[in-house]
Amino acid sequence: MRIVFAGTPEFSAPCLEACRASGAQVVAVYTQPDRPAGRGRKLAPSPVKQAALAAGLPVEQPETLKSPEAQATLAGYAPDLMVVVAYGLILPRKVLAIPTMGCWNVHASLLPRWRGAAPIQRAILAGDAESGVDLMRMEAGLDTGPVLLEKRTPIGPYDTGGTLHDRLSMLGAEVLAEGLRRTLAGEALVATPQSDEGVTYAHKLDKAEAKLDFARPAMELERTVRAFDPWPVAEGAIAGESVRIWSARAVDRQHGATPGTVLAANRDGIELACGEGVLRVTAVQRPGGKRIGAFDYLNARPELRGAIK
């Protein structure tokens, strides 16, 4: 089996390794063009490009797959199957038709819930009890194709966008490896159409969503903090200072204070009044500083301890 793999971020790299380990032949790797990164804004290769080059695989980085030239290049690799994992470019119908066995996609949600760009963070924001990965046969719609295989995982109370990302990345490699193994053994995987009920869309994250509004319930803010770790990181004001909030827990407690008021400040955390309940902040980052615990933050702002009535 000749496979063309298409992926870009770190999430995709284990799936590339699963393709290479399957016994199939990875004939080319498609990834997004190098982008500016870091303080110097120098062009940097994607994690998938780095993995492909380390493995000695041909790399293609077209700006689009809509041009006849890009489609001719892809067809020249004569792929039996195209595996797409967080690639970041839309595959036109003509591209979907090039591989003789079609195109597979590894998607980080339990479809049809959370189709789209940011399913991991949206699941945490919504308070979902579980997530998972689907191996899907691609079609022209956005994540609408039939599901071939699925693996599930609970979302724990301490899961962040980062921890769930890493777990689903490995589950994605597992479900892809199983699909390739069974297909190479001659099995025809059953394609189950997605339900028309329960469809939700995981819209791309916006930095503006990271600003915490303490008039909202504390539990919603806790989920925002967890979902936006490691990016874009929640932001909020503590006694007039805007900080990035890396870790916080909701506390079910009644109070009559104005949202955002500091209710308590000690080594256990800084408790802020919310529209419903209290948010206990345990790790922050001051402007220009590094991530620190609440105790170290209070050492830098000792006036907070005495300001609480």
Residues 183 and 221 placed together within one structural domain of the fold: no
Angstrom distance (rounded) from CA 14 to CA 176 = 10
| Confidence (pLDDT) at 41 | 87
139 shares its domain with 267: no
3-state secondary structure 104-130: EEEECCCCCCCEECCHHHHHHHCCCCE
Helix, strand, coil percentages for the chain (3-state, nearest 5) = 30, 30, 40
Q: Are residues 197 and 212 in the same domain?
A: no
Q: Provide mean pLDDT across the span 146-163.
A: 98
CATH code of the domain covering residue 195: 3.40.50.170
Count: domains in the chain = 2
pLDDT given for residue 305 in this prediction: 73
Show which of 146, 174, 202 is a domain's final residue.
202
Whether residue 37 has pLDDT greater than 90:
no
Place of tokens 């790399």: 59
Same domain flag for 78 and 182: yes
Q: Residue 309 has what pLDDT? A: 47
- Which residues make up each annotated binding site? 109-112
Annotated binding site for (6S)-5,6,7,8-tetrahydrofolate: 109-112
Q: Distance between CA 75 and CA 64 in Å, rounded?
A: 15
Provide the residue count of the chain: 309
The gap between the terminal CA atoms of the chain, to the nearest Å, is 70
Task: Mark which of 202, 217, 239 sits at the end of a domain.
Answer: 202
Mean pLDDT taken over the chain: 96
pLDDT of residue 88: 94
What is the rounded distance in angstroms from the CA atom of residue 187 to the CA atom of residue 156?
A: 35
Q: What is the pLDDT of residues 91-146, one digit of tens each?
A: 999 999 999 999 999 999 999 999 999 999 999 999 999 999 999 999 999 999 99
Domain that holds residue 238: 208-307
